[in-house]
Structure formats: C-alpha cells, structure tokens
Amino acid sequence: MSPRVTYRDAMREALREALQRDPRVFLMGEDVGMYGGSYAVSKGLLAEFGPERIRDTPLSELGFVGAGIGAALGGMRPIVEIMTVNFSLLALDQLVNTAASLRHMSGGQFHVPLVVRMATGAGRQLAAQHSHSLEGWYAHVPGLRVLAPATVEDARDMLWPALQEEDPVIIFEHALLYNVEGPLEPGAGADIRHARIRRPGRDLTVVTFGGMLNPVLGATEELARAGIEAEVIDLRVLRPLDDATICASVRRTHRVLIVDEEWRSGSLAAEISARIMEQAFFELDAPVQRLCGAEVPVPYARHLEEAALPRTPAIVEAARRLVGVAGAAP
C-alpha cells in the first residue's frame, strides 16, 4: 500500500530531493524561507539547507526573476517561486523578453535553465488579483516549456526532469491542489513531454489540466452512472501540447469537451479546439465544446466565485449535451 501524502508535501519532497541531488539547485522567492512559502510548500527547507540555498527575496518579481535568469546563465539551476500567476505579470519582461528569447537571440550560445514555479487558479476567495488562470499566456510563448502537475505524483515527479532542461520551464501549481491527498509510489521520474489518459472511456473525451482534473474525474463518476463513459486526458504539459494523445483519443470517441478554468477567449481550450479541427476534423461526431471560467475578474464573494468556475454539475451537463439525446441514458 503506497502512502497517501498531500500535493504540498509531494512538492516539498521534490524540492528537497532536487536540493540534495544537485548542489547547483537553489530556491528563491517571496517568503520561501523564514515564512515557509505562502502555501507552505518550502516549510522547513531553510533550516535544512540554509539561507544560501533557500533565499527570501524582496517584493520585486521583475528583480528576482531576473536574478534567477542571471544565476542560470552563470551555471546554477535556480528554482524561482512566484506567489501567484497574477504577480508573475510583473516579471513578464524577464520571462518573455529574456528567458524565453536568449537562446534564440544568442544563436544557441546561451541557455537559461531556469525553473519558475507559481500558484494559479481560483477557489480560495483570494479575489481578482490572486486567482486568475493565465497558463495559456505562457503556453503562447516559444522558448518556454509549461507544465501543470495535477496529481500528487506529478507534483513530485515533474520538478526533477524540469531541472534537467537546458531552457526555461514554468510549473503551474493550482492553489486548490495543495491540500489534495493521493497515493505516492516511490519516485520513478515523470516524463514532461506527454499528456496522460487518467480514465479510459468510449463515449467522449474530456481534455483538461491542473485544478480542473479532479472536478472532471468527479463528473465522470456521475456520467458513468448514467451510462456515459468519458475518457479523461490530463494535458500535464501545456507547451508544447501533446496533439498526438488528444487526436488519438478523438479517433476513439469522436466527441470532445475541453474543461479549462481560464477565460474562454484566447484560452488553451481555444488552441486545443483549433488543433482538433486541423488534425481530426473528420473524426468529429459533434462540435468540440468548451467549458471555461466566466469572463469576469474572479469575484471575491464565495457564491459568485463558485458561479464563475467550471464545477462538476456543469461538466456533467455539458458532457450529456455533447453525447446527445440518443447517447444519454436517462
């Protein structure tokens, strides 16, 4: 029986292992040291590894991400934690204009082996400046690899391969996942190239990632009771997208629902839908459907926040509609 641990503990375990294995690895960010991280991911690491390797930074995303880039160029393997994706916008210049571009602009002479971790997503009543899902913005940028671990295992296993990349990797950790428990087998190392099928099914494919995986899996239980077998694809890697896994599933089920907490316009859901049109149009038995976050700044009030997010009942309803009258057993 494998032990059950939280996503937070798994992530801390991954950090600890990386710090132990490679002396070039260090962690820096706001409150990662003394405070133990705003989501308590790095709790205890300062005592274990000391202030040289667990570094608190000033409140300046632009500054400390830039410092991370410099360290990476200088031969280190920095892990930079940004408190939320909203705050990462302050560091967009460093991430897009520098980290993602330097290899290209130097004709391949300079690589930036930087890992940036950040929390994303809503559901904790942290309002519009701490709750957005902007994964798609980063997935838009050539030169970045973008990961979204959605399970406890991926939380532990994706960090180390990310640190082995020669180019910058962004890891999105959905804030609602930190307390989720799951089984954890001894680390085998995860690939950071492919999507995974979390549940096989024949009637439709639900493509999702990150914080939406658990609501989707909950919905599939309910759908199964109604006789609808949904296949669930956890993207895991948001850039580059694993088109092959998605399209192979479409060839089996012929129907696709994309569940994405981001705003619908210009979202990853939009990109995936377009790729399915391009690569698997003639496999489709119904229009691709998207279920996304409401296009509002995420509200503070709990009921409004909940109403703005894709939740299990809405997923069930969207899947039923997609399968159609004939497919949905009453």
Q: Which is nearer to other proteins, 6 or 253 (CB)?
A: 253
Q: Can you tell me whether residue 258 is helix, strand or coil?
A: strand
Distance in Å, CB of 321 to other proteins, minimum? 6
Name which of 230, 232, 222 is nearest 198 in CA terms.
232
Q: Which is nearer to other proteins, 156 or 320 (CB)?
A: 320
The binding site for other proteins (CB under 8 A) comprises 254, 281-287, 321-322, 324-327
**In whole angstroms, what separates CA 4 from the centre of its chain?**
21
Does residue 52 have an active-site annotation? no
Distance in Å, CB of 287 to other proteins, minimum? 8
**Cα dist from 181 to 1, 6, 11, 50, whole Å:** 14, 4, 12, 29
Name which of 8, 15, 5 is nearest 183 in CA terms.
5
Name which of 88, 70, 86 is nearest 78 in CA terms.
70
Q: Is 125 exposed, middle or buried (0-12, 13-18, 19+ CB in 10 A)?
A: middle
∠ Cα 33 190 20 (to 5°): 35
**Cα dist from 104 to 107, 108, 109, 240, whole Å:** 5, 6, 9, 17
Distance in Å, CB of 327 to other proteins, minimum? 7
Q: Which is nearer to other proteins, 70 or 327 (CB)?
A: 327
Does residue 185 have an active-site annotation? no
Q: Which is nearer to other proteins, 225 or 282 (CB)?
A: 282
Indicate which residue of 13, 30, 81, 130 is catalytic.
Answer: 130
Indicate which residue of 13, 61, 135, 153 is catalytic.
Answer: 61
Distance in Å, CB of 261 to other proteins, minimum? 24
- The set of catalytic residues is 61, 130
